[in-house]
Amino acid sequence: MKFLFLRTLKKYSTLLLTGILFLNFACEDDDHDDHAHAHDAGHTDAEGFVLKDGSPGNPVVYKQFMGAVTVNTLNVVVGDEKPLMVVFLDDDEAEIQHDDDEHETEESVLQVTVTSGAEFATVAVHEHDETGSTTEEEHEMMIEITGISAGTTTFTLALMHGDHADYQSTVDVTFTVE
């Protein structure tokens, strides 16, 4: 009888200990996920981007995803200004919606750096209006390319969040000024 009692006690003790360990690790994972979620709040997890023309239908004129350029029909005429909408892509190549209201204390800022051919074109971030108007266009990230003279220009694109980049283009964007 004594051995039967000890065997039963051993089974239940093992089961109880296993349950306690399982719940303990499950709670730690939840805490870790909450911490990671809080740390990532306001950050954009982009894997690429597209540049869309402002003409009807907003056609994609340039696409870079995970370092591969799959669309490049970006051309500018000398003397023209070409506004382009910048849309970042997630790891499924779906568009990430940019909304200033979702950011906590630091807003994401678009940064453009001309890497070659600055004598042929300028590339600048087009700032959106902060006047309180509610049109959707004002919350879009835009760049503006201005053709100066015939030639080829390249630039990089980065989405800055505070003092670090949430995303940086891995390949220079190349376009021709005609």
What is the DSSP code string of 78-122? BT-EEEEEEEEE-TTSPBPPP-GGG--SS-EEEEEEEEE-TTTEE
- Convert the pLDDT of each residue in 62-83 to its tens digit: 999 998 999 999 999 999 999 9
Q: How far apart are CA 24 and CA 22, in angstroms?
A: 5
Going residue by residue through the chain (178 aa), what tens digit of pLDDT does each one get? Answer: 666 666 666 767 776 656 665 555 554 444 444 434 334 555 678 899 999 998 888 999 999 999 899 999 999 999 999 999 999 999 999 998 865 544 445 578 999 999 999 999 999 998 655 544 444 444 579 999 999 999 999 999 999 888 888 899 999 999 999 9
Q: Are 51 and 62 in contact (CB under 8 A)?
A: yes
pLDDT for res 97 = 80
Task: Tell whether pTM > 0.75.
Answer: no
